[in-house]
Chains A and B, each alone.
Chain A
Amino acid sequence: MSRLSKEPTKRLLAVHGWTGTVLGAFLYLIILTGAVAVFAHEIGVWSAGAADEHAEFGPGFDAQMKTLAASVDPAHLDEVQFFHNAAGQLVAFFHSHSENAAGQLEDVGTRFILDAETYKVIQRDEGFRSELPSDDTGALEEFIVQLHINLHIPHPWGLYATGLLGFVMLYAAVSGLLLHKHLIKDIFVAPRLSSRLLNRRDRHILAGSWSLPFGFILAFTGAFFSFATSLGLPVVAMVAFGGDQEKLIETVVGAPTTADETPALLANLDDVMNVSIAEAGTAPTFVGVSHWGRADAAISTFHPAKEGALVGDTHMFAGASGEYQGIKPIVGTKPSVSGDLLSLIGPLHFGNFGGLISKIVWLSLGLASCYVTITGLQLWMQRREEEAAWRWMSRAISVTTYGTPLALIGCALAYFAAIAASANASYWTAVAFLVVAGGAILLGSAAPGREQLRRWLINALIGGLVITPIARMILTGNDWVQLFAERNATVIGVDLVLWVCAAYLTWSNRIARQTDNATLAAEPTRLAAE
């Protein structure tokens, strides 16, 4: 397929291999956490032990929110957000924007956590957003998502790092395409068994060939998300708007309505919800109100995609009259092709457009990309395993491959233990990741041999996968009898998935050992034939 001559091919292969070797571990971490984060919502529900379906913004919402609005500092009515947390509780954040102690503009206001059905206040906190007590119900989900988005590196450096890794993945996909001479011819050729090196090469190429289109999409959309806000917007503002970010935002988002501070009652939110559901075809997942209690108030409702569609919509209402104003385009004030293209980036990256099916497919594709990364690293190492300087890499690959999911399992266990002990779950989830990852690294240097290390790590991972659902049941008291009675499929489903993963890992480990033995047994015969 590729028509590259020998020298450029050699150079391309060297860059392909070296970039993969230097950044492969980080790339694997980003792809694996991204694949897991496809099920972020389910992980949130599972960790919080919440019901499958939570109440939407139903009857009584208007009355209770207006009562709450009357109880907060009027300065906090500038912006209001309503959404549900991982436990299915309703979060209402009445806030404005002010300079914090560090001199940076930040949301400051009053946050309520309420029962989503009765609207009874569970918790009330005031202050800057970063100072509010963390809402621990979503700590595990949040940790995994942020690890994928920015590796928990402070803004904007974390986004730069993950954006760069997106470009590395894009380069690996493009160079892989150019390097593979028989992409179409070999598309159905199973990995050959005649030598271990050939087998590894075939496995890498075959998985890479099939996951190539997804690799492009994932890398491009991921890099876009990382760089769009951290670098793209400021650069565009500088180039096209002479550095005027306000002018840029006005062009992209639309000019703000003329300010009118005349006091005015907010329209009935229950009626607004009914109209928005009728217009969108789905219940809103996020509601925002700006300038609550003023004549220029505006209400926006965000709705997930309806059956068969890819993208959800934001619907706009006049705050004072409740009059429906239509769908808010993602870019500018009128529908456009660029807006449509931009709106596709999210579903293409998150895979959350088609319910469970699209999520399973996206998870599988993510795991295929993980497989390509790891087999690529193994291939690079195997070609150099005779060199003493490279022997450490074999251990590093095992530590990365099995240590990363092991650390994520450690996070889940620490989360449940922290919740049971009423400790700070966000803190202990992060600590557990570092401790388990550190433990895997120590094991990597202490193991007598690389095969022994691999076995230890796999056994630890299998053990972790088996123990986690049991630990969840014991620490939260939320067992299957209760879950069946509540018809909670998500929590039972995630427990089952962990056990299925443990069973698959046990089985695939046995098969891998048999394949390795077969290729090793075949080698003397093949060499004799040569």
Chain B
Amino acid sequence: MTSFGYFMLASVVTGAALLYLRATDSKRARVFGQTVAKPTKTLRHTIGIGVWIPGIVLLGLRQYSAFLSWCGALLVFGWAIAAMAPAGAVETTTLSDADGKEK
């Protein structure tokens, strides 16, 4: 497989894990007045670790170029999906959050 192939494969796996983590993020749901099916803590932790597995595999395979590109893509994709507000979300945050206080 080419370096590009390794990169794409790793990015798809990590991207899927990040999407799952976003979809089950309780704080994100609370802020936007949504309810999410709460997964078990173990499952969420496992998926959380799963985000990094492709990177470790790339390092193990000495695919350094694909590894660095994957690192960057993880950050860009993570930011892009986190920045999108949930569709049809109703916000419940009050002014106290503006001062950095948690509800």
Known: A186-B27, A188-B28. A206 touches B94 (CB 8 A): no
Q: Is B17 part of the binding interface, using a Cβ–Cβ cutoff of 8 Å? A: no
Q: Mark B25-53, 1 if CB is under 8 A from A, else 0.
A: 10110011000000000000000000000
A364 touches B72 (CB 8 A): yes
Q: Is the CB of B65 within 8 A of A210?
A: no
Cβ A358 vs Cβ B94 within 8 A: no
Q: What are 30 A-B contacts defined by CB distance under 8 Å?
A: A182-B102, A185-B27, A186-B27, A187-B78, A188-B22, A188-B82, A189-B31, A190-B83, A190-B84, A190-B85, A194-B95, A194-B97, A197-B98, A206-B79, A210-B79, A211-B75, A211-B79, A307-B65, A308-B2, A308-B64, A309-B64, A310-B65, A357-B7, A357-B69, A358-B68, A358-B69, A361-B73, A368-B79, A522-B91, A527-B95
Interface residues of B (CB under 8 A from A): 2-4, 6-7, 21-22, 25, 27-28, 31-32, 62-66, 68-69, 71-73, 75-76, 78-79, 81-86, 91, 93-95, 97-98, 100, 102
With a cutoff of 8 Å between Cβ atoms, the chain A residues found around residue B7 in the complex are 354, 357
- Partner-B contacts on A (CB < 8 A): 181-182, 185-195, 197-198, 201, 203, 206-207, 210-211, 213-214, 305, 307-310, 347-348, 351, 353-355, 357-358, 361-362, 364-365, 368, 522, 526-527, 529-530
A308, A358, A529, most chain B CB atoms within 10 A = A308
Q: What is the interface of chain B mostly: helix, strand, loop, or mixed?
A: helix
Q: List, in ascending order, chain A residues with CB within 8 A of B84's CB.
A: 190
Inter-subunit contact B82/A194 (CB<8 Å): no
Given contacts A193-B91, A210-B82, 4 further A-B contacts (CB under 8 A): A185-B27, A192-B93, A193-B85, A365-B76
Bound: A187/B65 CA distance, A: 26
Q: Which residue of A lies closest to B48 (CB)?
A: A184
In the complex, the answer to whether A348 meets B68 with C-beta atoms within 8 Å is yes
Return chain B residues, CB-CB under 8 Å to A213.
71, 75
Report whether A309 and B65 are in contact in the complex, using a CB–CB cutoff of 8 Å: yes
Q: Which residue of the partner chain, among A198, A206, A355, A526, contacts B82 with CB atoms under 8 Å?
A: A206
Contact check: which of A201, A203, A361 meets B76 at CB < 8 Å? A361
